Amino acid sequence: MFNEIKPPTKILVLISGSGSNLQSIIDACNADKIKGVIVGVISNVPATKGLERAKKARIPTSVVNHQTFSERYEFDRQLAKTVDSYYPDLIVLAGFMRILSKELVTSYADKMINIHPSLLPAYPGVNTHQRAIEAGETYAGATVHFVTSELDRGPGILQAKVDIHPEDTATDLAERVLAKEHIIFPKVIEWVCDGRITLDNGVVFKDGVSVPHAGLIFSENTEH
């Protein structure tokens, strides 16, 4: 009898910008922490740093530039076609700044995760750091969650918290949160590729145990 050999998870990463999260995922794959292979990187913005990072790592790239489509549905259709062409097992939204069509989200339900720079459900949408500071919050953070058609509302998997200091600007806070993103995003992808995360009826399970809707809280001192 042969043991069943599980092929590596085919990971597709969607970006719009600098791709520092993408880099953290590339590094975790290269270090063999993630048992998966990044089969492609799609950017909706041409000539981004993220695309350079992908090319340097010899990962195939595609650009679907939303500005070249006069109708929203044409962009959606081209994006879906491009995504499908990679036959991904897992789609990772790493700073992808376009809202995906319902059809695309539905066809990859439970196979698509996103990172958001706030402790969801607080501060969905943009300008999260400025809004948290203005509201007088004492801490902020990031959330990795499954994607549903409701923006930034899908079930959480893992969150990381950071303190907000009284003198913090949004840029200071973004930097501190981003450092945590680079830890928790590859960690979740590692879990997914190891088959430790499942989604059942909108509830996330890790190692068969249900996870609170906002996600688990990452701690440096815990072996996750």
Residues that bind ligand GRF (CB under 6 A): 15, 17-21, 50, 94-95, 115-117, 178, 181
Q: Pick the catalytic residue: 66, 116, 182, 213?
A: 116
Least spacing, CB of residue 179 vs ligand GRF, in Å: 10
- For 22-155, strand residue ranges (E) read 36-43, 61-63, 90-93, 112-116, 139-146
CB closer to ligand GRF, 94 vs 113: 94
Omega before residue 8 within 30° of 0, cis: no
- Terminal Cα-to-Cα distance of the chain (whole angstroms): 33
Least spacing, CB of residue 96 vs ligand GRF, in Å: 7
Q: How far apart are CA 187 and CA 193, in angstroms?
A: 10
Least spacing, CB of residue 52 vs ligand GRF, in Å: 12
Q: How far apart are CA 52 and CA 45, in angstroms?
A: 12
CB closer to ligand GRF, 41 vs 79: 41
Residue 116 bears catalytic tag: yes
CB closer to ligand GRF, 19 vs 154: 19
Q: How far apart are CA 139 and CA 161, in angstroms?
A: 7
**Which of 83, 38, 6 minimizes the C-alpha distance to 185?**
38
CB closer to ligand GRF, 79 vs 140: 140
Least spacing, CB of residue 213 vs ligand GRF, in Å: 19
Give the rounded distance of the alpha carbon of 64 from its chain centre: 18
Active site residues: 116
